[in-house]
Amino acid sequence: SAVISQKPSRDICQRGTSLTIQCQVDSQVTMMFWYRQQPGQSLTLIATANQGSEATYESGFVIDKFPISRPNLTFSTLTVSNMSPEDSSIYLCSVEGLGQTQYFGPGTRLLVL
Amino acid sequence: GENVEQHPSTLSVQEGDSAVIKCTYSDSASNYFPWYKQELGKRPQLIIDIRSNVGEKKDQRIAVTLNKTAKHFSLHITETQPEDSAVYFCAASKMAGTALIFGKGTTLSVSS
């Protein structure tokens, strides 16, 4: 399976600011996804990061709030914009390997004060 | 869209007992069903998966069964050990290139 890293691993931010989370994979992958996991909850898909085109967002998530970049097949960023305490969550990227298997990055733990 | 229901939300067993977690899905086009284990503070780890052309798959102490007609699949853990304690998530997807839709998770506690 691919080796996936995320930066930062955790952060504490003030409301109204923005944070960009990076996801790096050690091999080229076609599909990358961003999920949010609120405390004690399951994983919710934010968007599919498409290489060379705009991300595809799930219902309830919009580009202005969660802009995503995918400049190449090994890297993606997710920005959480104009943060509020409700954005406090773990943000995880995942990549699709062979046969639809998905592997997750270690996550970014965000606390918004 | 796809909806995945997972039961129970919590499960407590004695070491050595078996544990069963069940999921149902709504979209008959779903064809891939993975199970993830998430320990506290860690990322979800894929532990086993099954595809729609297979009814059962086993890997040592864990097994997954799939009933396409009823649209449900189950995770079976035999001879449970304290290190099996974690949150387990089921998920479903329709085809390669599509994201996973997750169940709400089951917190498994194995006491020695």
Residues of B in contact with A93 (CB under 8 A): none
Q: Do residues A35 and A106 make contact, with C-beta atoms less than 8 angstroms apart? A: no
The beta strand positions in chain A, using DSSP E, are 4-7, 10-13, 19-25, 32-37, 43-49, 56-57, 68-72, 75-80, 89-96, 102-104, 108-112
* pLDDT (tens digit per residue) in B2-55: 899 999 999 999 999 999 999 999 999 999 999 999 999 999 999 999 999 889
Distance of CA B94 to the CA centre of its chain: 17
Mutate to test the interface with A, among B2, B39, B102 (most CBs of A within 10 A): B102
Residue the block writes with tokens 């270690």: A106
- Reply yes or no on whether the pLDDT at A60 is more than 80: yes
Q: Which two tokens stand for residue A30?
A: 């076609």
**Which of A1, A23, A42 would you mutate first to test chain B, the one with the most B CBs within 10 A?**
A42
DSSP state for residue A58 in the 8-state scheme? P
**The pLDDT of residue B56 is above 90:** yes
Mean pLDDT of B61-80: 97
